[in-house]
Structure 1
Amino acid sequence: MSAQSTPPRPAPLTGIRVLDLTRVLAGPWCTQNLADLGAEVVKIERPGAGDDTRAWGPPYLKDQDGNATSEAAYYLSANRNKLSVTVDIATPRGAQVVRELAGQSDILVENFKVGGLKKYGLDYETLREINPRLIYCSVTGFGQTGPYASRPGYDFMIQGMGGLMSITGERDDLPGGGPQKAGVAVADLMTGMYSTMGILAALIERDKSGLGQHVDMALLDCQVAMLANQNLNYMTSGKAPRRAGNAHQNLVPYQVFAAADGHLIVAVGNDSQFRNYCRVIGMNGLADDPRFATNPQRVINREALVPMLVERMKAGARDTWLAELEAAGVPAGPINTLEQVYQDPQVQARAMRLELPHPTAGVAPIAASPLKLSGSPVRYERPAPTLGQHTRQVLSERLGLSDAQIEALSRPEN
């Protein structure tokens, strides 16, 4: 049988059970990754309300008649492939049910305040006595230790505290200069990604030790870590990087340029590309100028070089520049709206927009996972669940509860 005709293997985490006690974005992003990879993720939600982001709209998913459903777009973005179970953990019986589910699970992910689950008997110390193999991941603003551990932490404030906003935005001496957050909640998203990685590492280690462990994830830690080269720019120089707008701190030219009819990004990464760039724009002499011949010199002499490039780029049409730069092997690209992103032939070829059947809307759109596994591909089994959609299924199949017991557990407390 050829490699092409070999049927795909089960998704990598098939058979792994995840108990999801998270809401909003960082935690749900992590558990969505695990669900995409084949894990069975049971999302525990408050009866009558559920994840806060269910109401973070508009926009909301529309049904087949064009009417808004109760599913906000924000919620849909981070909860596909999960099962929703409504249980009130603040009641003794509700907490007991979740403990029983944890006893059957491989992974538990929670994003309550530090110590917030202890009063329900759902903290790591309690649950590891019930299930020593449990991998328990806590996602908080500041982690389980340190002077800020008890503080709430939200993406926006973490972007500021963690340094991202000190290097994001236009230069302070230019119009519009000043601190700027990213356009999406990157501290949340990166924490979700780092949490996924930590959980998978703990899962592999469990195969050797037979034991689970506590994975302590903090938004602030992840925000600091993800500053990458900017961290080392500071550590090696002793000088904190500042906002540079769309320019790069370590590469020139690597920025947005205005053309005659729009904007484009030019991302020159080495001296050969710079020489080709100069040829395309008709300024070959710049590549031979000792002030600009090498990237270190271009960085030092940025203020002399960039104004000349800015003036030259204004003389040509955006798409003409893009075509010529691509032909010359110089990295360049447009600045797309999301509408243009999903019209892009490369994005379409990579199937980054999909639709899944939805119980109230008929179909629901999703942005696909970027993970492309040849032998055991990501699965797309269900959209983000409606509130409590799988309560009866999970609690009857796993715990053997009766309809009356399930009804009592999923009823909102007055």
Structure 2
Amino acid sequence: MNVGALDGIRVLDLSRVLAGPWCGQILADLGAEVIKVERPGNGDDTRSWGPPWMKDDAGDATTEAAYYLAANRGKMSVAIDISTPEGQDLVHELARKSDVLIENYKVGSLDRYGLDYQSLAAINPRLVYCSITGFGQDGPRAAEPGYDFIIQGLAGLMSITGERDDRPGGGPQKVGVAVADLMTGLYATIAIQAALIARQTTGRGQHCDMALLDVQVATLANQTMNYLSSGKVPGRYGNAHANIVPYQVFRASDRDFIIACGNDQQFVALCRAIGLPDLSADPRFITNADRIAHREQLDGLLSEHLASATADEWVARIHAARVPVGAINSIAQALEEPQVIARSMKVQVPHPQNAAFEMVASPLKLSDTPVQYRAPPPMLGQHSHMVLRDLLGLDDDRITALRANGTVTQHPDFQQENEDILT
């Protein structure tokens, strides 16, 4: 097996739902050993967020929700009741032996269990402790829970997403995936890796304070800068672009497609490709600034003309002119795109209930330390016995007692889990 970029790094993942688990999955893909600590009985909230459910080898629905499966590849699951003193002691010992801890509890919630940063840093000064919350560890809203949908609204993303109010279907829209959660998971991954590198010099871990609101405000990128530079509040442009024209969806005779004309030279090439060469010499449309000023007029002219042929015809002609153009795929069509297939963006990760289980692959392509798919998303408590025995050194009698009093649970299909994926 190839060496992973993060081989030798142990991560204790106390998070659930999406932002934290997404971060943990990235670290696992990169070779870190990730131990997911879950509530006995229920586990991660997303385990119950179905349908759809994964199908087993016979084609029947299991109790493994697709949402959960999307963000927990490569981890081990240990079911521990952290509300009990014995459960807290177990997490203390796991933290003592870990490099990283990820948590997304409400601010202050872990203090009463002795699982906050200060308490665990006293046990393990080298621990990189990453907290992911809606609003951060301080500020007037720090104590509030954070949900991606709310954050998309508060941060301004929905104000620039969707059609204009004066158009059919106009109004603010959320994005089709939980982008605040996903982007925070990505930024948390960066913060953790930066802290691990800093630890090589300082010998100390640190607290990474990640907030969905912070991340969403930051990733408005050019739209926020547009406002800071002009004082003009950006609005919604639907499938058009705030700063570039034409850069939008057009309707062909059969379906919609996208033209993304990024500069004046491409606009000249576009006009020639679609049979309107004189359009690029029109004083209203010569430069991008001109086209923005006369957006509505250009949109009308192009829309009328492009409705005269099919999307495939336009895409072929425009692509030949080296102007960015593309179809609008369904997810099923996207996964069958030749480029997606060539880049191996589907991966088979055999699951105990489905030997042919497939997932979307990691987009990280590393030449020397490639991403590894060591294990499928774990079943609840699948690795409880193994982790307590092999990592913490507990004997079978002690583990049996912890299971008897409900502090720890083990998945019934893995009563004697002996798979060696601990480093």
Note whether the superposition's TM-score is higher than 0.5.
yes
Q: How far off is 1:410 after superposition? A: 4.6
Q: Give the whole-Å Cα distance in 2 for the aligned partners of 1:112 and 1:395.
A: 24
Shift of 1:406: 2.3
CA contact (8 A) 2:86 2:407 kept: no
One-letter identity of the residue aligned with 2:40: P
Matches within 5 A, 1:100-139: 100-139=93-132
1:20–1:43 contact (8 Å) kept in structure 2: yes
Partner of 2:293: 300
Matched, 1:247 2:209: no
Preserved CA contact (<8 Å) 1:86 1:410: no
Aligned residue in 1 for 2:204: 211
Per-residue CA distance 1:189-218 (angstroms, 9 max, x = gap)? 000001001111111111111110000000
- 2:156 match: 163
Matches within 5 A, 1:70-219: 70-219=63-212
Q: What letter matches 2:122 in structure 1?
A: E
Superimposed CA distance per residue, residues 40-77 of structure 1 (whole angstroms, 9 cap, x where no aligned partner) = 00000111111010110001011111111111000000
Counterpart selection for 1:65 from 58, 65, 71:
58
Moved more, 361-370 or 232-241: 361-370
1:311 aligns with 2:304: yes
Q: Matched residue of 1:363: which SS?
A: coil
Identity %: 60
Say if 2:394 is the partner of 1:404.
Answer: no
1:343-391, Cα deviation, whole Å (9 max, x unpaired)? 1111111111111111122232110000000111000011100011111
Aligned to 2:249, the other structure's residue is in SS state: strand
Note if contact 2:271-2:277 (Cα within 8 Å) is conserved in structure 1: yes
Counterpart of 2:3, as a letter, is P
Distance in 1, Cα, partners of 2:338 & 2:81: 46
Take 1:196 and 1:413, find their aligned partners in 2: how far apart are those partners? 30
**Amino acid aligned to 2:383:** H
**Would the alpha carbon gap of residues 119 and 303 (structure 1) be closer, same or farther in structure 2, given more than 3 Å must change?**
same
Mapping 1:327-338, distance limit 5 Å: 327-338=320-331
Letter in 2 for 1:376: T
Quick one: structure 1 residues 238 and 141, their matched pair in 2 at CA, closer, same or farther if it must change by over 3 Å?
same
| 8 Å Cα contact 1:87-1:410 kept in structure 2 | no
State the AA in 1 paired with 2:254. Answer: D
Shift in Å at residue 402 of structure 1? Answer: 2.0
Q: Please say if residues 247 and 260 of structure 2, whose CA atoms lie closer than 8 Å, have aligned partners that are also in contact.
A: yes
Deviations 1:290-319 (A, max 9, x none): 211111111111112110011011011110
Secondary structure of 1:83's counterpart equals: strand
Quote the Cα distance in structure 1 between the aligned partners of 2:48 and 2:399. 25
The range that moved more, 287-296 or 123-132, is: 287-296
SS of residue paired to 1:357: coil
Q: 2:265 aligns with which of 272, 280, 285?
A: 272
Q: Could you tell me which amino acid in structure 2 is paired with residue 298 of structure 1? A: R
What TM-score does the superposition give when structure 1 sets the normalisation length? 0.97
Q: Is the 8 A contact 1:155 1:186 kept in 2?
A: yes
Residue 9 (structure 1) shift:
4.9
Q: Matches of 1:92 and 1:374 in 2, distance apart?
A: 46
Conserved in 2, the CA contact under 8 Å of 1:87 and 1:409? no
Maintained 8 Å contact 2:76/2:382:
yes
- Does residue 221 (structure 1) correspond to residue 214 (structure 2)? The answer is yes
Count of residue pairs brought into register by the alignment: 407
Q: 5+ unaligned residues in a row in structure 2: which ranges?
A: 409-423
Residue in 2 aligned with 1:236?
229
TM-score (norm 2): 0.94
Distance 1:234 1:364 in 2: 46
Measure, in 2, the Cα distance between the counterparts of 1:194 and 1:321.
38
For the Cα contact (< 8 Å) 1:88–1:410, is it kept in 2?
no
Supply the distance in 2 between the matched residues of 1:32 and 1:264 (Cα, whole angstroms). Answer: 34
CA distance in 1, matches of 2:407, 2:124: 29
Q: Deviations over 1:244-265 (max 9, x none)?
A: 1000000000000000111100
Q: Which residue of 1 aligns with 2:412?
A: none
Q: What residue number does 1:354 align with? A: 347
The answer for the alignment partner of 1:10 in structure 2 is 3
1:220-271 C-alpha deviation (Å, 9 max, x unpaired): 0011000000001111111110111000000000000000111100000011
- Which one of 12, 18, 26 corresponds to residue 19 of structure 1? 12
Q: CA deviation at 1:405?
A: 2.5
- Per-residue CA deviation, residues 138-175 of structure 1 (Å, 9 max, x unaligned), is 00000000000000110000000010000000111001
* Residue aligning to 2:375: 382
* Residue in structure 1 matched with residue 27 of structure 2 by the alignment: 34
Alpha carbons 1:29, 1:78 under 8 Å: kept: yes
Q: Which runs of 5+ in 1 are unaligned?
A: 1-7
Contact kept? 1:88, 1:409, Cα under 8 Å: no
Using the alignment, how far apart are the partners of 2:333 and 2:197 within structure 1? 40
CA contact (8 A) 1:86 1:409 kept: no
